[in-house]
Amino acid sequence: MAVEYAPYTTSTVHSVIDQQLSPTDAKQQYENEIILSNSTHGAPSRLFQTKTRILRASDVLLSLAGRSTSVTNLTMNPAGATEDVPSGVENFQEVLRLFPPFRDDDGPTFGAVDIKCPDCDATFSSPDELQQHYLTKYCPGTTVAVYVMTRDRLITKGYRMEKRLIPVNCRPIRFFCDNCDKVFTFGEEDEKPDRQPNAPVYVNCKHCGEKCNVSYQPILNDPRDDISPRDIQRELGNVCHSRSPSIAQRPSMGAKFPNPPATNMDQQSFTRKARKLRDSWSFRKMSQSDEDELIAISFAGLYDLERVHAPNGIYHHIENDNEPQLNQSTISFDANGTLTWLNDASLNEAQKIMCEDEDRHPANEDEAMDDEDDQKEQPASSRRQSFLQKLFGRKVPKGISRARSASNRGKKLIRRANTIRFSFVTKYTRSESRATGRTSDRDSIDARTQDTSEQKHESAADTEYIALLRNCQNVFVHTQYINGGAVVHDASGRQRIIKIDEVAQVFLHIKEELSSANSWSRMLNTRMRAESALKQGNGRAAVVEYHDALKLLEDNPSLDTDKQLRAAMLHALGQAYHGLDMTGESEACYLEALGLYKRTYGRDHPKNFALLHDLGALCEKDGYATEASALYERSFAGRLKTLGHNAPDTLSSMQDLASLKVLLGDLESALLLLEKAVPALDTVFGLQNATTLNAMNQLSHLYQKLGLNKESRTICGRTIPHCKSFFGIVSPITREAVVRYLQSSDNFDFPPEIREILDHYQRSRDPDALRVVHRLGRSYMDAGLNRDAANLFEALVEDFLAAKGPEAPETFDALSALCVSWEHLDSVDKAILAYKQLVHMASRTPEDHHSRKRITYAEKRISELNRRREILAAERKEWCLHEPAACENCGDSTTVLCNTCKIFRFCSDPCHKAGADTHLPFCIPSVSLRESKSLAVKPKCPVSTRDQALAKIRSLDSTKPVNITASYTFYLDPRNFTTFRMKLNAKANTIILFSLDSDIRYTIMDAVSASAHQHPGNTAPLTSKATGGVNWISPERQESIIYIPPSTSDVGQPDLRQPKEARYVLITPGKEMLRSVIDKRIRVRGGSGEKERFQALNLPSHELIEYAQGLLLTGYLGEAFMYVLEWV
């Protein structure tokens, strides 16, 4: 369809237009910029035939005569009753009822019905909740689209145009039927349209019964007019406070006319500066007197406003322009409030009546000066056009201009017409009306108001109403009028009808909103100060600021009609109270905010779930873990449904819910949540993020609680390097991760980055770092590396003495660990010395010191170690190790034994070194029977074993009687069994039986010179230097040993004339048992060549024996492997 220019042009301006641009060219240029729609858009065609009516706001406000003009009228339903819908959330139990739990598969909710709002798709659980929302100002889909044109007071020739969505109550809603040309209502008695997504909306007419398409389609597809529904929630940086001198453009929308390429550097620099200036207007802070001036509002479109009031991109004041052409109708109201249209004849007559005193009212000097200035500035329009084109990135078309009229008669007509229409409302008496007619034309509305107030006592409401009319004389309202009201469209995509009084209420809302710009600015500044104080942890200051901001909203209701700003600030205020441990106040704020959010956005909205999460945190802090878990579960399920699995809020809910599940003892559920959250956090934020690292640390801690040390160590190994780089090496988070890594470690071949951290902690004198080193020592002890633990604790005791002093708990802990390390190494003397030092330090502390409790335990351990030392000394004495014998190298008498085998003697170190070559094959590390921690002995043998031994003895000499004097059963623990030695009794005959199932090897070591006599009855595999090597026998090859000392005579008594003999039985693990112990040691630490060194062993080395002896094992796996019987 073609654009109609007639309503906005007059015959007096064509001469001016022809000088710049012809109407045909202007039409073509407009059609190039804005695509014209045809009449087949699905909307009622009758509505497209309506013409835009330009009314003064004072005329529209006449429909509110006798009624309140407060913005709270917007909350009134057609019946006039004020709606004050309560939030309906009173306590935690009510919250749990209103938000039922979701299913595990994110399906429908338990025990709830999903009832959706037809206009905004908000979901509710009951029809009553929907009734409080549908077709009210709380429904975002019912907001009316209004196009507002304002002028910035600091940019005198600029303007700004924007589309606003005004929330209004609209029950019942009115539509226009194109079939019967009547207006009908809809929405009464719970009526709801059947709406499909992205489909036209059809409603049955109440008069003719035909289906009416009420979908909105704009006549002009202006790309600046976004008809899609959008959230009406104001943000801190809302576009409504932009200072751009045109319609506020979205960031994604570029300039319609791009800048021409610059030909030199100066133009490029100018373009950059212009863009910077343009962008700075959007963020300029408002001052106390910086509110905008309302020029006009329109329910038709942005193009309509710009075409009338600013055709060249520059705002033109309406008083310096022509009145719209006489063929355009204007409206008036009679005393009864009936709407009447003034046609051309009536206007002409009014012009004749009103212009009779025209000579008495010459033109204003200021207006004449403005005319001269405009005439002077007219040649400079091209320069202004060029500047605006570079500044705003688009060229404003030179459309049909409202040039200055050659006569002031139209201007006089406007004034006189307004005066006449105003007289219909003031309700003067007949005598007062005649007196008013006799006054001069210079009697303005202010004079009439004063005369009336002197003659009649007016109420304050009437005075306010008259002042409002006077202030709205130069504000215009563009409407598409049809029988029954004005055509508007809402955010849900419908085109409907509102009455003129509703248009007046919308206008009042916009006017009061603009007049409250200073309050809005103060509220924003107060809110930002409150948020800053809350982030800094100053909760009391935040509470004060939030209360001030809420007070400003209460004083200016037009700033927060739908109460969403109040809900947002109540939410933040509740968080501030939560930080101050003011549970009651925090709960009240949360519940009120939840009710406000639910009433507007429905049940399934992220803001509701954020409040549920905060309510859960409040319950958790007060100790109501069960209620907190229920709220957390609802928050997590709702966020998972609405936001998705990878949303930050969803992942936060998963973390908090997992932590609470751990406190409740439901570790499996917590593990399931964290195992889903950690990969998502890694994907969304990466490892260099505090949230991701905290979740991974939480998961590793949970793995550790469940005994999954391998998984815990793996997670810690990934997080420690990133914790070091993100939090720092001295951060508590890094230290805790390292401690957890050490606690779950069974291998101490640390990666280089972790070894670097541990070395830094060992060199440090920081007590917190030394605690990590103490944990490392404890891990060494648990793994059997007692030698490393003892060396570490020795240095750690000195460090704690220097850093914390002798009375610090850390010092006593390190010293106690040192005592245990020496005890595990079977270094009895060093362990006793360390315990005595512990007793000495504890006895010097005050009486009430915690270390006093250690004295009793230390003294007990000293007593037991002394008893063990006596046992070992008795064993050596029994084996005659304290008596002198010949040196293996020089033959001199000595009592010094080899430190490794404890069998052969060397008088000095030179002799030891000299005989090393011949001694080395026989120097086998071992432990004695009393030293071994893997052996157990019972002084009794089974009857079957006893009979088997007697049979073997009688096979040697069946004529002699056999008398068993002693029998023993030896048990071993295969987990830590190593080589042990046992000296044979030189005063009795001995038979040793080995279990065929035992994985062991044995031999007899002769510690006397090679000339020792071998009794013919002996069946032992003798190993001595004369034999040239060690001969190891397995039970499969030979299951018994019979040993008859050569000093024993035929009568069974020892012959003192024979030389003394020292023979030992050495028993070592078999290949499989040895390999098991070696593998266990390699798993603990196999780096730096230790793995190869241990794998090359055929017999346990001294280091391997020390490791096996120091293992902390639970229980005893006793396995009988040897039976010893003595007879005479």
Within 13 Å, how many C-alpha atoms sit on residue 652's CB side? Answer: 15
Which of 102-111, 228-237, 326-335 has maximum average pLDDT?
A: 102-111
pLDDT mean over 1072-1088: 92
- Calpha distance 223→940 (Å, rounded): 103
DSSP 91: S
Which of 188-192, 240-244, 361-365, 1062-1066 has maximum average pLDDT?
A: 1062-1066
Predicted confidence at residue 926, as pLDDT, reads 93
- Calpha distance 610→288 (Å, rounded): 35
More confident residue, 710 or 394: 710
Helix (H) / strand (E) element for 341: namely strand 339-342
Which of 235-239, 337-341, 1115-1119 has maximum average pLDDT?
A: 1115-1119
Predicted confidence at residue 25, as pLDDT, reads 54
Residue 221 pLDDT class (50, 70, 90 cuts): low
Strand 980-983 versus strand 927-928 pairing type: parallel
pLDDT mean over 788-812: 94
Instruction: Characterise 198 by phi-psi region: left (phi > 0), alpha (psi -120 to 50), beta (else).
Output: left
Q: Among 141-155, 695-709, 1050-1064, which stretch is predicted with the lowest mean pLDDT?
A: 1050-1064
Q: Among 226-235, 352-361, 1103-1112, which stretch is predicted with the lowest mean pLDDT?
A: 352-361
Q: Smallest Cα–Cα separation from 982: which of 1015, 1004, 965, 953?
A: 1004
| Residue 796 in this model has a pLDDT that exceeds 80 | yes
N- to C-terminal Cα separation, the chain? 133
- Calpha distance 657→417 (Å, rounded): 70
Predicted confidence at residue 95, as pLDDT, reads 85
- Calpha distance 137→75 (Å, rounded): 7
User: Contact at 8 Å (CB) between 897 and 903?
Assistant: yes
| Residue 5 in this model has a pLDDT that exceeds 70 | no
| Residue 697 in this model has a pLDDT that exceeds 90 | yes
Summarised one tens digit per residue, pLDDT across range 391-446 is 334 444 443 333 333 333 333 333 333 332 222 333 333 333 333 344 434 444 45
Instruction: Characterise 1091 by phi-psi region: left (phi > 0), alpha (psi -120 to 50), beta (else).
Output: alpha
Strand 1000-1006 versus strand 1063-1069 pairing type: antiparallel
The amino acid sitting at 473 is Q
User: Contact at 8 Å (CB) between 129 and 145?
Assistant: no
pLDDT mean over 598-602: 87
Angle at 253 between CA 252 and CA 257, to 5 degrees: 145
Predicted confidence at residue 265, as pLDDT, reads 52
Residue 267 pLDDT class (50, 70, 90 cuts): low
Residue 91 pLDDT class (50, 70, 90 cuts): confident
Strand 339-342 versus strand 330-333 pairing type: antiparallel
pLDDT mean over 621-642: 89
Which of 45-54, 424-433, 448-457 has maximum average pLDDT?
A: 45-54
Predicted confidence at residue 677, as pLDDT, reads 92
pLDDT above 70 as % of the chain: 68
Q: How many residues does the chain have?
A: 1128
Q: Please state, as a whole number, how many other Cβ atoms lie within 10 Å of the Cβ of residue 501.
A: 19
H-type alpha helices, 706-827: 709-726, 732-743, 752-763, 767-783, 786-803, 809-824
pLDDT mean over 871-887: 88
Residue 72 pLDDT class (50, 70, 90 cuts): low
Predicted confidence at residue 272, as pLDDT, reads 57
Give the gyration radius of the chain's Cα atoms. Answer: 50
Predicted confidence at residue 509, as pLDDT, reads 87
pLDDT mean over 302-312: 78
| Residue 271 in this model has a pLDDT that exceeds 50 | yes
- Calpha distance 335→594 (Å, rounded): 47
More confident residue, 1101 or 245: 1101
- Calpha distance 421→410 (Å, rounded): 16
User: Contact at 8 Å (CB) between 785 and 1111?
Assistant: no
Q: Peptide bond before 379: cis, by omega within 30 degrees of 0?
A: no
Across the chain, mean pLDDT equals 75
Residue 217 pLDDT class (50, 70, 90 cuts): low
Summarised one tens digit per residue, pLDDT across range 377-399 is 444 444 444 444 443 344 444 43
pLDDT above 90 as % of the chain: 34
Architecture of domain 644-741 in this structure = Alpha Horseshoe (1.25)
User: Contact at 8 Å (CB) between 808 and 798?
Assistant: no
Q: Is 858 exposed, middle or buried (0-12, 13-18, 19+ CB in 10 A)?
A: buried
Residue 160 pLDDT class (50, 70, 90 cuts): confident
Instruction: Return phi, psi of residue 216, to 5°.
Output: -90, 130
Predicted confidence at residue 375, as pLDDT, reads 42
Predicted confidence at residue 197, as pLDDT, reads 61
Residue 837 pLDDT class (50, 70, 90 cuts): very high
Q: Smallest Cα–Cα separation from 170: which of 146, 133, 137, 203?
A: 137
pLDDT mean over 57-67: 81
Summarised one tens digit per residue, pLDDT across range 725-764 is 999 999 999 999 999 999 988 889 999 999 999 999 999 8
Sign for the pseudo-dihedral over CA of 572, 573, 576, 582: negative
- Calpha distance 1115→1109 (Å, rounded): 15
| Residue 894 in this model has a pLDDT that exceeds 80 | yes
Predicted confidence at residue 609, as pLDDT, reads 92
DSSP 71: G
Predicted confidence at residue 517, as pLDDT, reads 81
Summarised one tens digit per residue, pLDDT across range 1001-1046 is 999 888 754 334 455 556 655 555 555 578 899 999 999 999 888 7
Summarised one tens digit per residue, pLDDT across range 912-958 is 888 888 888 889 999 998 999 999 999 999 999 999 999 998 888 87
pLDDT mean over 503-507: 89
Tokens representing residue 971 in the block: 């048990």
Q: Please state, as a whole number, how many other Cβ atoms lie within 10 Å of the Cβ of residue 431.
A: 8
Please report, for the chain, the start and end positions of each structural domain, with discontinuous segments joined by +: 644-741, 885-922, 928-1127
Helix (H) / strand (E) element for 1091: namely helix 1090-1095
- Calpha distance 757→730 (Å, rounded): 10
- DSSP SS3 for 495: strand
| Residue 640 in this model has a pLDDT that exceeds 60 | yes
| Residue 68 in this model has a pLDDT that exceeds 60 | yes
pLDDT mean over 633-654: 90
Name residue, tokens 């019964």. Answer: 209
Q: Among 88-92, 773-777, 953-957, which stretch is predicted with the lowest mean pLDDT?
A: 88-92
| Residue 40 in this model has a pLDDT that exceeds 80 | no
Summarised one tens digit per residue, pLDDT across range 463-501 is 878 888 888 888 888 888 777 688 888 888 888 888 888
